[in-house]
Amino acid sequence: MSPSDLVSSHTISVLVDNEPGILARVVGLFSGRGYNIESLTVAETDAKENLSRITIVTKGTPMIIEQIKAQLDRLVPVHRVRDLTVEGPHIERELALVKVRGTGDKRVEALRLADDAGQHVHVAHMVLLVLDASTGQNAQEQAKQFTEVAPITALALTKLDGTAKGGVAISISDQFKIPIKYIGVGESIDKLQIFNKRAFVESLFN
Report residue 15: phi and psi, to 5°. -90, 120
User: b/e for 37-73, b at 16 or more Cβ within 10 A?
Assistant: eeeeeeeeeeeeeebbbbbbbbebeeebbeebeebbe
Q: Are 55 and 45 in contact (CB under 8 A)?
A: no
Q: Which residues pair with 130 in a beta bridge?
A: 156
Report residue 118: phi and psi, to 5°. 75, 25
Q: Poorest-confidence range of 3-7, 44-48, 74-78?
A: 3-7
Position 103 confidence tier, pLDDT thresholds 50, 70, 90? low
pLDDT tens for each residue of 148-164: 877 788 888 887 765 55
Distance, in Å, from the CA atom of 181 to the CA atom of 203, rounded to the nearest integer, reads 17
Query: CA angle at residue 116 from 111 to 122, to 5 degrees?
Result: 40
Q: Are 166 and 157 in contact (CB under 8 A)?
A: yes
Question: What pairing do the DSSP bridges indicate for beta strands 8-17 and 78-83?
Answer: antiparallel
Distance, in Å, from the CA atom of 58 to the CA atom of 85, rounded to the nearest integer, reads 11
pTM above 0.85, yes or no: no
Q: Answer with the residue of higher pLDDT: 167 or 182.
A: 182
State the DSSP H helix or E strand holding residue 145, giving kind and residue range, or none if neither.
helix 138-149
What structural domains does the chain harbor?
A: 7-87 (3.30.70.260), 97-123 (no CATH), 128-204 (3.40.50.300)
Query: CA angle at residue 15 from 12 to 19, to 5 degrees?
Result: 125
Query: CA angle at residue 40 from 34 to 44, to 5 degrees?
Result: 130
pLDDT of residue 125: 67
pLDDT tens for each residue of 40-56: 888 888 888 889 999 99
